[in-house]
Structure 1
Amino acid sequence: MNRITLDAARVIIHDTMAFGREKGMKPLSVVVVDAGGHVLAFERADGAPPGRFDIARGKAYGSVMLGIGGTAQRDRAEAQAYFIAAAGAAYEGKLIPVPGGILVRNDSGEVIGAVGVTGDTSENDLEAGSVGIKSVGLTADG
C-alpha cells in the first residue's frame, strides 16, 4: 500500500477508539492524515472536549511534516527547544510535539501518513493509535 485509503483511515479510527474504550481510557479523538498532512478522517468520542481536533491534528501533522513520531519530537524538544519552537512557527502553530503523533509506514518502510490521538495520557494515546494502525496491516512509528 502506498497511501492510506479512506476505508483504512476509518478502520484505524474505529479500532483506536475501541481499544481506548476497552482499556477504560478517557474519551479519545483521532485524526488520520496523508503523507502531505491533509486530513483524511477524524472522529471525536462522546464526552471529548470540542478542541481535541486541533490537538489530534497537531500531533499527526507534526509527525508527518518532521518525519518523526511524537515521542521523538518530545525528546527533541527537551534537547533542542529552539528547533521545535522554530518548526512550530514554520508550520503556523500546527505542531504538538508529544506522544500520540504516530507515523504510518507501509511494508517498504515509507511514510504514507500519520495518526494523531488525544484524550488520555500521551502514552495511552500512543498505544491506542498504534493498535489502530496495526489493525490495517501497517506499521506504527510513534
Structure 2
Amino acid sequence: MSMHISLDDAQAMVERARAYAEEIAVPMNIAVVDGGGHLIAFARMDRAIRGSIDIALAKAKTSILFNNPSENLWEFCKPSGPAPATEYTNGGLIPYAGGVPLSDADGVLIGAIGVSGGLPVQDGEVARAGLSGRG
C-alpha cells in the first residue's frame, strides 16, 4: 500500500521550507498538497506577497498534474514549444520553479510542495528545502 502525506509530515515540510526562506531573507507562501492536489498545510510568512498565495498552490498543482517539478512544463508550453499555452489548461498552471512533486518509496506520486514569493529560482530552492531540509 502506498504512503500518504500526513498532517505532521506536511507541517514539517512547511517548517523546513520556512527555515530556508528565513535564511535567504525572502518571505514565502508555502503549500503542501496531497496526491489529488488538495491542500494539507499552508503558511504565509510575515510580509509574503498575497498574490503569491494562489501561485504557490498552482505550482504544487502543476507538479501533481505533470509529476515533475513545475519548471519542467515550460519546455512544452513556451511559444516555440510543442504545446504552447498549456499553462492555460487545468484552471491555470505555473510553468516555472517552485513546485516539486513527492513520491513514496514505491515511486507513487503522493503529493507536492508549492512555494511562491521570491524569484523563481528562490522559490525552487525553498521548495526543495521543504522536502529535504536544504535548497
Matches within 5 A, 1:21-100: 21-24=22-25, 26-78=26-78, 79-82=81-84, 84-85=86-87, 88-89=88-89, 91-93=90-92, 95-100=93-98
Is the 8 Å Cα contact of residues 44 and 52 (structure 1) preserved in structure 2? no
Whole-Å separation in 2 of the counterparts to 1:81 and 1:120: 27
Aligned partner of 1:10 in structure 2 is 11
Q: Please report how far the alpha carbon of residue 38 of structure 1 lies from its aligned counterpart in structure 2 after TM superposition.
A: 0.5
Kindly provide the amino acid, as one letter, of the partner of residue 111 in structure 2.
G
Gaps of 5+ in 2: none
Matched, 1:123 2:124: no
Q: Please report how far the alpha carbon of residue 125 of structure 1 lies from its aligned counterpart in structure 2 after TM superposition.
A: 1.0
Q: Please report how far the alpha carbon of residue 114 of structure 1 lies from its aligned counterpart in structure 2 after TM superposition.
A: 0.7
Is the 8 Å Cα contact of residues 74 and 99 (structure 1) preserved in structure 2? no
Is the 8 Å Cα contact of residues 69 and 99 (structure 1) preserved in structure 2? yes
Residue 31 of structure 1: SS of its match in structure 2?
A: strand
Q: Alignment RMSD, CA only?
A: 1.8
Number of aligned residue pairs: give it: 131
Q: Please report how far the alpha carbon of residue 66 of structure 1 lies from its aligned counterpart in structure 2 after TM superposition.
A: 2.0
* Structure with a larger share of its residues in helix: 1
Q: Give the TM-score taking structure 2 as reference length.
A: 0.88
Is the 8 Å Cα contact of residues 35 and 109 (structure 2) preserved in structure 1? yes
Which piece of structure 1 moves more, 115-124 or 66-75?
Answer: 66-75
After superposition, the C-alpha distances for 1:52-80 in whole angstroms (9 at most, x for unaligned) are: 21000010011101222112112222223
Q: Give the TM-score taking structure 1 as reference length.
A: 0.84
Whole-Å separation in 1 of the counterparts to 2:106 and 2:91: 31
Aligned partner of 1:110 in structure 2 is 108
